[in-house]
Structure 1
Amino acid sequence: EVYKGREPQRAGAAALVLLAGTLVFTVAAPDGKAQAAAVPGQVRVLSYNIHDGVNQSGRLDPEGIARVIEGQRAQVVLLQEAGRGSLMSGTTDVGVWLSRRLGMKLIWGPAADGQFGNAILTSLPVRKSGTGRMPRGDWSQIRGYVWARLAVGESTMDVWSTHLEGGDDQAGERSREIAALLRAWGGAPRTLIGGDFNTDAGSPELAAMTDGTDLRSAALGGEPYPTRPDGAVNDWIFGSDGVLVTDYEVPKSEASDHYPVAVTVRIGR
């Protein structure tokens, strides 16, 4: 079963390199298995909290995640909870495993520590990348983001992956994290920001993503679809000027405790 939107809307390997000063890892794609763009300037993007590769049955199954990504023919995947040998994933470096399995480049950035963070997988050329951490409250986990500037034909697009603080009593913390995220983004055109925002539609902190910015939800002007089995809508993609969203889906899968959010976008110049 797939939740799917229909109407377009303008939305406002094995080499491992540590980029000094940014703590961003890049893994070269080994064999080019990732899907190429069907239409020039068109890109398929997925935002996915992969729960460290642990499925809804509690079993470590990164292959299930890989099959979801392949099924969506994604050229860019914005990952959250992409463990690098975290307690949840055991000794498995899920980000590197997926990069090699899918033949995609990996850009990884830490959040709470060097084993828990966000990542970007892509088959597109990477022009720049970076990462950052959010200010943390007294009782919250350190959160972060990772971004990359990708070549799309003769143009570029920026993509960001982030994961905000959870909990109904943490709205203030999420607001501070969103403010830090927006400052880091700085209003660059042709941008997609995706991730697990840990809050539903209508929350004041989520409204800050679009109030006073040119960002728009990729949900194509309709109600966003549930992104968790309990019906919560925690996972979002926002697009800026220069990005035209032509398709929006939330395909159901048991590969993680979240469903992925999938969009097809066209990039302007």
Structure 2
Amino acid sequence: MNQDPASIAEATPTTLRVLSCNILAGGSVKRYREYVTQSWKHVLPTGKRANLDGLAGMLGDFDLVALQEADSGSLRSGFLNQTEYLAESAGFPYWSHQPNRKVAKVAASSNGLLSRLKPDEVLDYPLPGRIRGRGVLWARYGKGEQSLVVLVAHLALGPQARAHQLGYITELLEGHPNALLIGDLNTPIESPELRSLFARTSLQAPTQPPKTFPSWAPNRAIDHILASSSLKVDELRTLPHLVSDHLPIAATISLPSALKLSDSRPAS
């Protein structure tokens, strides 16, 4: 986790503004046929930095930003670490990334986390699966039971693989009563694998999860911000399409007063 040299004010926030984005390495898709007709754009950096600049302009309203399919430096991104670029462009003092799947020098997918709060611990866990290349980025804010744990994940396409991965995530959540699971989970809330997760953890299913895919005509809610029962999700919504084939999903979350987190957000 990286930090700029600016001094950090110590305080305890009462709410967090959270965003999750599958950014497709900075690419943009506006209809299904573009997966084929513009496939060359997925392996070249054309237009991607401009897309990231547009996204960075939107990130200033948030405290935590979870990224999936961020490129950590390959041909398709112009050898740019996109998580670092977005953190610097949007003024986040802390950032971390978890490289997961590298395809020669063409692609280097990763999860990322941008944060205005100082984390006390950041860990990198590979997820189980027949095909390697997915993981969970795990961050802890605060200490002991009065800490907040944030997990960023991009799960597999197949239901059996997702079930194994969510079982592993269940283990990572043990002993952490205040938790967020954020990311492209590739499955709707009512799926058997997520129902099992809710039954085995304190994470709560939202009553009206917003549809996020495909970005140009969303009809599936497969990107999620899931909070434990100790946290109150005051607002859950999507944002306009800027990059990717997924819509960003945002939440405002009220924190219990017992939590003790270090807040680096500028005073309003």
CA distance in 2, matches of 1:244, 1:111: 31
Unaligned runs of 5+ in 1: 1-25
Q: What residue identity is the alignment partner of 1:148?
A: A
Q: What residue identity is the alignment partner of 1:93?
A: N
Structure 1 pair 187–156 and aligned structure 2 pair: CA distance change class (3 A): closer
Map Cα deviations across residues 192-248 of structure 1 (whole Å, 9 max, x no partner): 11110111232111222211221113x3x2x21111224221101111132111111
RMSD in angstroms over aligned alpha carbons? 2.5
Map Cα deviations across residues 130-155 of structure 1 (whole Å, 9 max, x no partner): 11001121xx3421010111259xx5
TM-score normalized with structure 2 length: 0.78
Q: 2:28 aligns with which of 55, 80, 92?
A: 55
CA distance in 2, matches of 1:265, 1:158: 14
Structure 1 pair 30–62 and aligned structure 2 pair: CA distance change class (3 A): farther
SS in 2 for 1:126: coil
Q: 1:227 aligns with which of 208, 212, 216?
A: 212
Counterpart mapping for 1:90-239 below 5 A:
90-104=78-92, 105-113=94-102, 115-137=108-130, 140-151=131-142, 156-166=147-157, 170-217=158-205, 219=206, 221=207, 223-228=208-213, 229=215, 230=217, 231-239=219-227
Unaligned runs of 5+ in 2: 31-40, 42-46, 259-268
Range with greater deviation from structure 2 (50-59 or 96-105): 50-59
Identity, in percent, stands at 28
- 8 A contact 2:239–2:248 mirrored in 1: yes
- 8 A contact 1:29–1:100 mirrored in 2: no
Structure 1 pair 52–188 and aligned structure 2 pair: CA distance change class (3 A): same
Counterpart in 1 of 2:247? 259
The Cα of 1:50 is off from its aligned counterpart by 1.1
Q: What residue identity is the alignment partner of 1:62?
A: L
> More strand by proportion, 1 or 2?
1
CA distance in 1, matches of 2:69, 2:223: 13
- 8 A contact 2:173–2:201 mirrored in 1: no
- 8 A contact 1:227–1:260 mirrored in 2: yes
Q: What residue identity is the alignment partner of 1:111?
A: N
- 8 A contact 1:106–1:119 mirrored in 2: yes
CA distance in 2, matches of 1:77, 1:186: 23
Question: Which is higher, the Rg of structure 1 or of structure 2?
Answer: 2
Q: 1:67 aligns with which of 49, 57, 64?
A: 57
Q: What residue identity is the alignment partner of 1:77?
A: V
Structure 1 pair 209–29 and aligned structure 2 pair: CA distance change class (3 A): farther
Counterpart in 1 of 2:264? none
Map Cα deviations across residues 29-77 of structure 1 (whole Å, 9 max, x no partner): 3669xxx99x94111011111111222365312112212323xx11001
The Cα of 1:187 is off from its aligned counterpart by 4.2
The Cα of 1:113 is off from its aligned counterpart by 4.0
> More helix by proportion, 1 or 2?
2
Counterpart mapping for 1:82-93 below 5 A:
82-93=70-81
